[in-house]
C-alpha cells in the first residue's frame, strides 16, 4: 500500500508517522511550507514537495490533511492533474463534507482520525477511532484496511453522522477545555495551585470509560443544594462573566434529573 500525504500539519504529521510505522509506504508529502514537508518526509522516508502540480500518480491512496477551508482549493488544484483522475482521495477532516472532493474525483471518501492532535504531544494511536467512508464499496474496503492497520477501531461514518459527531466533540472537548480554563482563572486569581484540581479532572474522564455521565453526575446542582449554589454565585460576583454560565449549567443539570 502506497500513500501520498497532502498536508504536514498536526493531523498529517501524526497520521504519516503512524502509517509509516505500521508498514505502509509513504510516497510523497506535500506542504505549502517546504520546511514542514521536508521535516515529516525525512521521518517517514517520503519525497517532500511544496508544489501540488508535482504530486504524481504512483500512490494507491491520497490523504488530504489540510485545513477545512482549503480542502476545496487543494482538491481543485489536484483535480487538474490528469494522472490523478482515477485515484482514491480522502480528506481527514471532522467537519468538512466529502462532497468537496466529489467535484474533482470519481473515487473519494473520508479518513478522519477522531482525536485532537498537536505536534508536541505523542498520542496512543491504536485507540483513536478512524471514521471513514467512501462512495464506492471497494474504496471503503481499502480505507477499512488502512484504518485497521493503524487503529483498533475503524467505523463507517457518513457525512451526516460525522457532522453530528463534530457537534458532540465540541461539547465534550472544546467546551470542557474552556471550563478547565475558567477553573484555572479562578484558582489563579486567588493564588491557589490549579494542579490541586488535576487528579479530579482526570478521574472525571476516566470514570466515563465504564459508567455513564448521567450516573456519575455529582455536585450541588445534582443534589439540588441551593445553599451551596447561592454561595458559589455570591463568590462569582468577582467574575461577572461566569455567573451566567454557572447558572445555565446548573439549570441544565437540574433539568436533566427532573425528568
Restricted to residues 134-163, the positions that interact with a second copy (CB under 8 A) are 153, 155, 157, 161, 163
Question: Should residue 165 be labelled a site residue for a second copy when binding is judged by CB under 8 A?
Answer: yes
All 3 cell numbers of residue 59? Answer: 500512490
Residues sharing a CB contact under 8 Å with residue 121, sequence separation 6 or more, in sequence order: none
Count CA within 13 A, CB hemisphere, residue 165.
21
Single out the residue of 131, 134, 142, 143 in contact with a second copy (rule: CB under 8 A): 131
Question: Should residue 224 be labelled a site residue for a second copy when binding is judged by CB under 8 A?
Answer: no
How close are the terminal C-alpha atoms of the chain, in Å? 53
Single out the residue of 51, 76, 203, 226 in contact with a second copy (rule: CB under 8 A): 203
Q: DSSP secondary-structure letter at 170?
A: I
Task: Select 84 or 96, whichever has its Cβ closest to a second copy.
Answer: 96
Q: DSSP secondary-structure letter at 172?
A: I
Interior angle at CA 149, CA 119 and CA 81, nearest 5: 75
The minimum distance between CB 56 and a second copy, in angstroms, equals 33
Task: Select 141 or 177, whichever has its Cβ closest to a second copy.
Answer: 177
All 3 cell numbers of residue 233? Answer: 454565585
Task: Give the distance from CA 201 to its chain's centroid.
Answer: 21
For a second copy (CB under 8 A), the number of binding residues is 88
Task: Select 52 or 201, whichever has its Cβ closest to a second copy.
Answer: 201
The minimum distance between CB 160 and a second copy, in angstroms, equals 8
Cβ 185 vs Cβ 177: under 8 Å? no
Return the CA Rg of the chain.
23
Task: Select 78 or 130, whichever has its Cβ closest to a second copy.
Answer: 130
The minimum distance between CB 159 and a second copy, in angstroms, equals 12
Task: Select 102 or 155, whichever has its Cβ closest to a second copy.
Answer: 155
Question: Should residue 204 be labelled a site residue for a second copy when binding is judged by CB under 8 A?
Answer: yes
For residues 254 and 186, give the distance between their C-alpha atoms in angstroms, rounded to a whole number: 24
Task: Select 83 or 206, whichever has its Cβ closest to a second copy.
Answer: 206
Question: Should residue 205 be labelled a site residue for a second copy when binding is judged by CB under 8 A?
Answer: yes
Amino acid at each position: 500500500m502506497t500513500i501520498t500525504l497532502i498536508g504536514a500539519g498536526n493531523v498529517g504529521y501524526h497520521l504519516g508517522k503512524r502509517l509509516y510505522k505500521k508498514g505502509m509506504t509513504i510516497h510523497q508529502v506535500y506542504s505549502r511550507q517546504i520546511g514542514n514537508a521536508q521535516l515529516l518526509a525525512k521521518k517517514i522516508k517520503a519525497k517532500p514537495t511544496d508544489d501540488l502540480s508535482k504530486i504524481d500518480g504512483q500512490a494507491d491512496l491520497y490523504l488530504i490533511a489540510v485545513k477545512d477551508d482549503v480542502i476545496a482549493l487543494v482538491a481543485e488544484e489536484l483535480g487538474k492533474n490528469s494522472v490523478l483522475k482515477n485515484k482514491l482521495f480522502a480528506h481527514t477532516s471532522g467537519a468538512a463534507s466529502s462532497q468537496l472532493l466529489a467535484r474533482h474525483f470519481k473515487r473519494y471518501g473520508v479518513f478522519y482520525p477522531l482525536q485532537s492532535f498537536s505536534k508536541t504531544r505523542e498520542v496512543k494511536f491504536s485507540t483513536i477511532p478512524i471514521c471513514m467512508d467512501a462512495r464506492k464499496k471497494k474504496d471503503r474496503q481499502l480505507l477499512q484496511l488502512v484504518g485497521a492497520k493503524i487503529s483498533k477501531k475503524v467505523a463507517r461514518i457518513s457525512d451526516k453522522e460525522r457532522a453530528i459527531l463534530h457537534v458532540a466533540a465540541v461539547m465534550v472537548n472544546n467546551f470542557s477545555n474552556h471550563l478547565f480554563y475558567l477553573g484555572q482563572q479562578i484558582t489563579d486569581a486567588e493564588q491557589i495551585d490549579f494542579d490541586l484540581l488535576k487528579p479530579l479532572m482526570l478521574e472525571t474522564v476516566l470514570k466515563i470509560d465504564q459508567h455513564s455521565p448521567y450516573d456519575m453526575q455529582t455536585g450541588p446542582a445534582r443534589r439540588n443544594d441551593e445553599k451551596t449554589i447561592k454561595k458559589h454565585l455570591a463568590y462569582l460576583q468577582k467574575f461577572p462573566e461566569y455567573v451566567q454560565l454557572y447558572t445555565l449549567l446548573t439549570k441544565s443539570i437540574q433539568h436533566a434529573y427532573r425528568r
